[in-house]
Structure 1
Amino acid sequence: MKLVIGGSTDFVAAELIRQGLENPAITSIVALGRREIPAPPEVGPVAAKLKSVVCDNFESYSESVKKEL
């Protein structure tokens, strides 16, 4: 399952990312935010499931952002 998290720079999103990385049913996570989102350091090798996508305008997505989603 793919998990897409919009507005991924706040506390709640950080917890969703951490829990998603630990869940084996989730195969990939796309974190959509205005800045790069690093993986939590304690998650180890499953951090590879996380793809951070920078989006400057949430009203109009660029083609590169659409491709990641």
Structure 2
Amino acid sequence: MIRYFNKVYATDISENQILNAMEHEGVEYSIHSSESTEFKNNSFDLICVAQALHWFSYDTF
């Protein structure tokens, strides 16, 4: 994703997943559930989910 965007925000509910993520100066990692983040509404141009959609609470998300 970082090849196509100036800044990437990556989140995961698992601290272990974040700790194992590859570091990159253009990527900011944080630990959040998909339904509860610190991001303001309408903050992003694109949201990408890989191998996790089945964990989401659809009504809340």
Is the pair's TM-score, using the shorter chain for normalization, greater than 0.5? Answer: no
TM-score by length of 1: 0.28
Q: Which has the larger share of helix?
A: 1
The structure in which a higher percent of residues are strand is 1
TM-score by length of 2: 0.30
